[in-house]
């Protein structure tokens, strides 16, 4: 009898697919891929431990999509929106050269806590990105900086097929497509809505403000946005 794939099996297979992706961009743009970089062995250990801990089942989940991984954040760890200290607690693996906006990650951990804790949150949701590999650009000073897939039409067009293929593969994990949650209520939401109008991936997309936007520009309204997240995640109909 063939063993039925778990959700974690599907995620880890998807990561292997990402490891073999070769995307040539243009000008000073390039892809930041944690799954085939110099830390790929450590990344594999981290992702195996994390996903087998929380996703080793056959539950359907709702998709929560950011735009693309930050080069020193998820594009270093392979796990969306997790910071180094939390991943160390979850997997026992220490990550070097890792940075994430602490206030942003703390906001998301507060969302998880109010939802009922990590175990309950990850049982119901899978966090990922519209473009699941990081994008970097070289600025005028010659430094690598984060880029977003939607920051110009040429980049958007170059990544279009990759984005569509990635969404199809992730939906096949066992995603409940009645609702998709979009982190980023501006350009990320606009692009995802446009893609959805063409491919009909989801019945409804709910936009949620990015934690960085909340904590850097609207920290005084933090609790209002926290309530918005919780209300949206609790009302899945």
Q: Is there a domain that residue 236 lies in?
A: no
Range of the domain at 171: 7-231
The dihedral over CA atoms of 171, 229, 81, 98, expressed in degrees to the nearest 10, equals 170
Q: Report the candidate in 121, 13, 123, 127 with the shortest Cα–Cα distance to residue 59.
A: 123
> What pLDDT is stored for residue 78 in this prediction?
83
Q: Is there a domain that residue 89 lies in?
A: yes
**Gap between the Cα atoms of 222 and 80, Å rounded:** 21
Phi (first) and psi of residue 208, to 5 degrees: -125, 140
Sequence-ordered alpha helix ranges (H) in the chain:
7-19, 40-54, 74-77, 84-91, 102-115, 118-124, 153-171, 187-199, 211-217, 222-234
Q: Is there a domain that residue 1 lies in?
A: no
Q: Which residues contact 161 (CB under 8 A, 6 or more apart)?
A: none
> What pLDDT is stored for residue 80 in this prediction?
86
- Burial pattern 61-90, b for ≥16 Cβ within 10 A else e, equals bbbbbbbbbbbbbbbbbbbbbbbbebbeeb
Q: How many domains does the chain have?
A: 1
Could you give the count of Cα atoms lying within 13 Å of 139 in the half-sphere of its Cβ? 6
Q: Is there a domain that residue 105 lies in?
A: yes
Q: Is there a domain that residue 210 lies in?
A: yes
> What pLDDT is stored for residue 101 in this prediction?
47
The CATH number of the domain where 62 resides is what?
3.40.470.10
> What pLDDT is stored for residue 237 in this prediction?
66
pTM: 0.92
Q: For tokens 């989801």, name the residue.
A: 202
Q: Which residues contact 8 (CB under 8 A, 6 or more apart)?
A: 51, 52, 54, 55, 56, 57
pLDDT tens track, the chain, 237 positions: 668 899 999 999 999 999 999 898 999 999 999 899 888 888 898 899 999 999 999 999 999 999 998 766 666 678 888 777 777 777 777 666 554 545 567 888 899 999 999 899 999 999 999 999 999 999 888 888 889 999 999 999 999 999 999 999 999 999 999 999 999 999 999 999 999 999 999 999 999 999 989 988 899 999 999 999 999 999 876
Q: Which residues contact 139 (CB under 8 A, 6 or more apart)?
A: 145
> What pLDDT is stored for residue 75 in this prediction?
61
**Gap between the Cα atoms of 83 and 81, Å rounded:** 7
Return the number of other C-beta atoms located less than 10 Å from residue 41's C-beta: 8
**Gap between the Cα atoms of 39 and 117, Å rounded:** 30
Q: Give, in order, the Cα–Cα distances in Å from 90 to each of 54, 123, 134.
A: 10, 15, 23
Q: Is there a domain that residue 237 lies in?
A: no
Q: Is there a domain that residue 147 lies in?
A: yes
Q: Is there a domain that residue 70 lies in?
A: yes
């Amino acid at each position: 009898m063939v063993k039925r794939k778990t959700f974690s099996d599907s995620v880890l297979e998807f990561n292997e697919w990402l490891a073999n992706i070769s995307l040539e961009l243009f000008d000073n743009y390039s892809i930041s891929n944690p799954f085939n970089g110099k830390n790929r062995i450590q990344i594999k250990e981290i992702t195996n431990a994390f996903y087998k801990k929380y996703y080793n089942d056959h539950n359907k989940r709702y998709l929560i999509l950011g735009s693309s991984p930050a080069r020193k954040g998820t594009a270093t760890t392979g796990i969306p929106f997790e910071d180094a200290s939390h991943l160390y607690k979850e997997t026992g693996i220490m990550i070097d050269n890792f940075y994430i906006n602490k206030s942003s990650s703390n906001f998301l951990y507060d969302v998880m806590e109010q939802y009922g804790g990590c175990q309950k949150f990850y049982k119901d949701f899978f966090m990922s990105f519209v473009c699941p590999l990081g994008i970097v650009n070289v600025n005028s000073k010659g430094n690598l900086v984060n880029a977003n897939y939607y920051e110009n039409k040429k980049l958007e067009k170059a990544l279009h097929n990759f984005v569509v293929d990635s969404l199809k593969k992730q939906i096949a994990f066992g995603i409940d497509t009645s609702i998709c949650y979009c982190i980023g209520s501006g350009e990320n939401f606009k692009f995802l809505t446009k893609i959805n109008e063409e491919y009909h991936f989801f019945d409804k997309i709910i936009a949620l403000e990015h934690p960085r936007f909340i904590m850097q520009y609207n920290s005084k309204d933090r609790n209002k946005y926290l309530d918005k997240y919780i209300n949206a995640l609790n009302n899945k109909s």
